[in-house]
């Protein structure tokens, strides 16, 4: 399946998105993309150990890790620097997520391969808010 096909399918069909690296700070892409997804009908679960328990204005309070979510996740959206993306991808595999989406500038080919080998869909170096206008119905 091509990247464009994977992107279109995830944007259309994936309902629950965990945003790892979510921030309430104004101007942070993680917060604005999470809000965009939420406003477009996705269930958004914020993950960031620095803001645990804070009200996010999304679908759940902020948790420290993917393991703390306690519910199935369709897509893990990674807003962490590339050198930390592999650990997030490994957590996504461990919780049985359906896909990992590494944001613009987040590139880890080894982690992407581990995710694919575990059966997850992978999108790398792309942004769902940007892709929405090209792929979402």
**What's residue 65's pLDDT?**
97
- Domain count for the chain: 1
**CB atoms inside a 10 Å sphere around CB 98:** 17
DSSP class per residue in 56-124 = -SSSS--BSSGGGS-S--SEEEE-S-HHHHHHHHHHHHHHT-SEEEEPTT---HHHHHHHHHTT-EEE-
The pTM of the full predicted model, rounded to 2 decimals, is 0.95
Say if residue 124's pLDDT is above 90.
yes
> Residue 96: is its pLDDT beyond 80?
yes
Decide which of 26 and 62 is more confident: 62
Residue 137 has pLDDT above 80, yes or no: no
Please write the tens of the pLDDT for every residue from 35-44.
999 999 999 9
The tokens describing 68, both together, are: 């703390």
| Structural domain range at position 19 | 3-135
pLDDT per residue as tens digits for the range 28-65: 999 999 999 999 999 999 999 999 988 888 888 999 99
What are 83-92's contacts with CB under 8 Å, separation 24+? 85/111, 86/110, 86/111, 86/114, 88/20, 89/114, 89/115, 90/114, 91/65, 91/66, 91/67, 92/66, 92/120
pLDDT at residue number 2: 61
Report whether pLDDT(85) > 90. Answer: yes
| Of 29 and 134, the one with more pLDDT | 29
Indicate which CATH number applies to the domain containing 29. Answer: 3.40.50.720
pLDDT for res 136: 61
């Amino acid at each position: 399946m091509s990247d464009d096909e994977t992107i279109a399918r995830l944007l259309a069909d994936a309902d629950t998105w965990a945003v790892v690296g979510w921030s309430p700070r104004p101007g942070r892409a993680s917060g604005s993309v999470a809000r965009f997804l939420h406003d477009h009908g996705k269930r958004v679960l914020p993950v960031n150990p620095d803001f645990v328990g804070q009200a996010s204005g999304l679908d759940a309070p902020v948790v420290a890790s993917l393991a703390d979510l306690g519910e199935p996740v369709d897509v893990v959206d990674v807003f962490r620097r590339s050198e930390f993306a592999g650990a997030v991808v490994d957590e996504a595999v461990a919780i049985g997520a359906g896909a990992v989406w590494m944001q613009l500038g987040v590139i880890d080919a080894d982690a992407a391969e581990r995710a694919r080998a575990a059966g997850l869909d992978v999108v790398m170096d792309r942004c769902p808010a940007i892709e929405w206008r090209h792929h979402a119905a």
